[in-house]
Amino acid sequence: MKRTLQLLNDLERDGVLTRYAIGGAMGATFYTEPVLTFDLDIFVVLPRTPGGLLTLSSLYEALRARGYTEENDCVLIEGVPVQFLPAYNSLVEEALNQAREIMYEDVPARVLRSEHLLAICLQTGRDKDRERVRILREQAQLDTNFLADILKRHQLEEKWKLWTE
């Protein structure tokens, strides 16, 4: 994963993407016991086209030029299947802007805060997200005031009550 993160930093430095952070199950492992996952979810902010559209095509072209290949909905980078997820709403944009700076084997990287990971799980609403919420509540050191603020701003308070009562 070290070399994968080095490549992500290179892509950001080269302007292929504006910002990235680790999310999903791999992001949660920075706060909880590891769970089985098959890919590295990377949330990204992409530069807009002159027409104002967001597209993954320049990112995929940059990766192909570096010798990496697509495999289903991922790109295989240094043996790690990476799924790129554009910041698709205000919650994910906020999560990216407030991601924690970390060092992973002497490589700088970013990971979404545990409170944002939990809120994204609530918003997504799948069975595996419900389980991830349970694990984050049990194992992560959540800032409950920060979480409550996120839930309120993104209209997730009712879902939180349904999932936690």
Q: Looking at the 3D structure of the chain, how many domains does it have?
A: 1
Instruction: Give the model's pLDDT for residue 33.
Output: 86
Chain mean pLDDT for the chain: 93
Contact 121, 40 (CB under 8 A): no
What is the signed CA dihedral for 4, 27, 11, 47, rounded to 10 degrees? 160
pLDDT-derived band of residue 154, with 50, 70 and 90 as boundaries?
A: very high
Domain that holds residue 49: 2-164
Whether the per-residue pLDDT at 80 is higher than 80: the answer is: yes
Q: Residue 109 belongs to a domain with what CATH number?
A: 3.30.460
- The predicted-structure confidence for 32-71, as pLDDT tens digits, reads as follows 987 767 889 999 988 777 777 778 888 999 999 999 999 8
Burial of 85 per CB tally in 10 Å (0-12, 13-18, 19+): middle
- The predicted-structure confidence for 118-147, as pLDDT tens digits, reads as follows 999 999 999 999 999 999 999 999 999 999
Q: Rounded to the nearest 10 degrees, what angle do helices 127-139 and 114-124 cross at? A: 160
Tell me the average pLDDT across 19-38: 88
pLDDT-derived band of residue 81, with 50, 70 and 90 as boundaries?
A: very high
The helix/strand/coil state of 38 is: coil
